Amino acid sequence: MAVCPADDRHVAVLAFPYGTHAAPLLNLVRRAAAEAPDVTFSFLSTKASNASVFAGLNEEQLHNIRPYDIEDGLPDDFVPSGNPQDPVAYFVKAMPANYRTAMEEAVAKTGRQITCLVSDAFFWFCADMAEEIHAKWVPLWTAGPHPLLAHISSQQIKEKLGPDGVQENKEIDFLTGFNGLKAADLPEGIAELKEDPFSMMLDKMGEALPRATAVAINSFTAVHLPIAHELESKFHMFLNVGPFILTTPQSVTLDDEGCLPWLDVQEEGSVVYISFGSVIMPPPDELAALADALEEGKYPFIWAFRGNPEKSLPDGFMERTRKQGKVVGWAPQMQILKHSAVGVCMTHGGWNSILDCIVGGVPMISRPFFGDQMLNTSTLEHVWEIGVGLENNVFTKEETLRVLEIVMSSEKGKMMREKVFELKDFALEAAGPEGDSTKNFCTFADILSGLPHDRLHHHPHGLRGIRHKIAGAFAAAHHKFSRRHHHAKH
C-alpha cells in the first residue's frame, strides 16, 4: 500500500456530541494535527457541541482542523423533559445520514477525499463506512478498559449469566479482570437485551469494534495489565493513549472563587472535594444527607455545585459552614486534586473523574448514576482498591459518615492512598517521553498520517525523538509536582 501524498490526506473526525465525549476527542485530534500540519482534519459534531468544544481556541491552535455542524435529529417542536437520554435517542435515530451529509460537505470544501475516519467508539456504522470509501477507521473509547471488555463480550456475558443473571446478581468471574464484580455492576443492556436506541447502538458497537484498524482508549496500560493484554488480543491494534489529562492539550481552568488559597491553609489530607460531573446531580434527599454528614463530621470541604445551593441544600447550611467549607459554581478540579490538603474526592464514578483522581493521587467515594459508572465504582473498590462505594449506591447521613471515616481515618483508607499513588506513578510513567502511551500515540498519529500498515508495528521509535520530547512536556509538570506531593504525604 503506497503512502498518500501529505496534501491528499483528509481525516474525518466523527464526535458524539453528548456528555464528556466530544472534548476529549478534539484534544486528541489537536495533538495529532499539530504533528501532521499537512493533513486536513474535519471535525463533525452538532452546532451546540462544536460551539462548546471549540470555544476559546484560536487559529494557531486549529490551523488544519475545521468544524462542520451536523443535524441533531431533534424535531422542531421538541421540548426538553429534563431526561438527558431523550435528545440522545433522537440523535441516534438520525445517524449515520447526518454524518454522511457533513462528510460530503467537507470533501467538497477541501477538495480531498477522506483517507481516515476517527470516531467515537459508539459509532458502529463507521466499520462499513470506512470499507465503502477505502479508508482506515480508528475509534476512540473515552471510558475505561473494564466497560470496553464488557461491551465487546456482551454475547458471552448473556450466555454465561442466563436470563436471570442480573436478578440473581451473579459474579462475572469468567472475564479477565472482573473478579469481585457482579452482574448488577454492568452497564444497562449488556447482560440483557434492551430495545432503546442507545442500548442497541452499544450492542452494535461491541460487534463492530474488532473490525477497526486500531482502537484507541483514554487509559494507560499499567492501570490493569491483565485486562490490557486481553483487549490487545481482541483488536487488530489496541492503543492506550491516556490519561488525556497528561497526554493531550488541556484548557486552563481559572480559580475565580479562591479554592487554592483556601486549600493552602487547610491541614494535609483533611479536605473532602465533591463533584458529580457536568450531567447529573444526586436527588434532593441525598444532597441534604450529604450536607448533614459534612456538617456533623466537621470535615473541611470544597463542593463544586451546579445550580443554586441556597435552594438545594438544607436551610442555613451555607451560613453555618461558611468557615468549614466552600460551595463553588466552578472549580479547577485538577489543581485541587493535586493539592496535598485534599484527602478524598466524592464523585459520580465517571471515567474522566477517576483518571483525574488517579493523577492527583486522591482516593474516592463514588455514587454512580448510569452507564459505566456502576462498573467503575465496583472496579475502584474491588479491583484497584483505591476507593469505596455506598451501600445501595445512595447517600444517607449515616452511610456518608461511615465511608468518610473509612477513607479519611482508617488503616484501609491509608492503603487506598498508597495504591492510588502507585497508579499515579504508572500514569506519569506512561505519559513520559519513553512511556507506553507516548509510543502508542506515535502509532496513532502514523495511522492518521497514512503510514502503511506493515510499518506501524516496527516503526523505529528512535526516529521519533522530537515527538517524545513533546510528549514529555505534557507530563513533566505533573511529574515534578508528583514527587513533591508524594514526599509530603509520606
Q: Which three cell numbers stand for residue 211?
A: 473490525
100-139 pLDDT, tens per residue? Answer: 999 999 999 999 999 999 999 999 999 999 999 999 999 9
Q: Which of 475, 489, 479 is nearest to 31 (CA)?
A: 475
Examine the domain organization and report whether 335 and 357 are in the same domain.
Answer: yes
432-458 as b/e: b if 16+ CB within 10 A? bbebbbbbbbbbbbbbbbbbeeeebee
Distance CA 234, CA 149 (A): 9
48-82 pLDDT, tens digit each: 999 999 998 888 888 899 999 999 999 988 888 87
Total domain count, the chain: 2
Question: Do 419 and 361 form a contact (C-beta atoms < 8 A)?
Answer: no
pLDDT score of 228 more than 90:
yes
348: domain range?
259-425
Judgement on whether residues 29 and 147 belong to the same structural domain of the protein? yes
pLDDT at 457: 45
Q: Are residues 290 and 415 in the same domain?
A: yes
Residue 358 neighbours by CB under 8 Å, 6+ apart:
223, 243, 386, 420, 423, 424, 427
Q: What average pLDDT does the chain have? A: 89
Domain containing 383 — which CATH number? 3.40.50.2000
Q: Is the per-residue pLDDT at 464 higher than 50?
A: no
Domain match, 225 and 314 both? no
160-188 pLDDT, tens digit each: 988 877 778 899 999 999 988 999 999 98
Rounded average pLDDT over 287-303: 97
pLDDT at position 60, please? Answer: 81
- pTM (global) more than 0.75: yes
Mark whether 21 is an active-site residue: yes
What pLDDT is stored for residue 377 in this prediction? Answer: 97
pLDDT digits (tens, 9 = 90+) for 187-223: 988 887 777 888 889 899 999 999 999 999 999 999 9
| Separation of alpha carbons 243 and 355, rounded Å | 6
Residues 312 and 243 both lie in one domain: no
74 and 217: one domain? yes
Active-site residue 485, yes or no?
A: no
Instruction: Please identify, among 405, 425, 445, the residue that sits at the C-terminal boundary of a domain.
Output: 425
- Select which of 21, 146, 468, 478 is catalytic: 21
* Position 483 confidence tier, pLDDT thresholds 50, 70, 90: very low
Question: Does any domain span residue 387?
Answer: yes
> What's the pLDDT tens digit per position in 4-23?
455 689 999 999 999 889 99
| Residues 63 and 99 placed together within one structural domain of the fold | yes
- Indicate whether 399 pLDDT > 60: yes
Amino acid at 32: A
Catalytic site residue from 69, 72, 86, 120: 120
Q: Which of 144, 269, 136 is nearest to 212 (CA)?
A: 136
Question: Residues 169, 265: one domain?
Answer: no
HSE-up of 325 (CA within 13 Å, CB side)? 27
Q: Which residues, including other chains, have CB under 8 Å from residue 331's CB and lie 6 or more apart?
A: 253, 255, 257, 259, 273, 275, 302, 304
Burial class (CB in 10 A: 0-12, 13-18, 19+), 152: buried
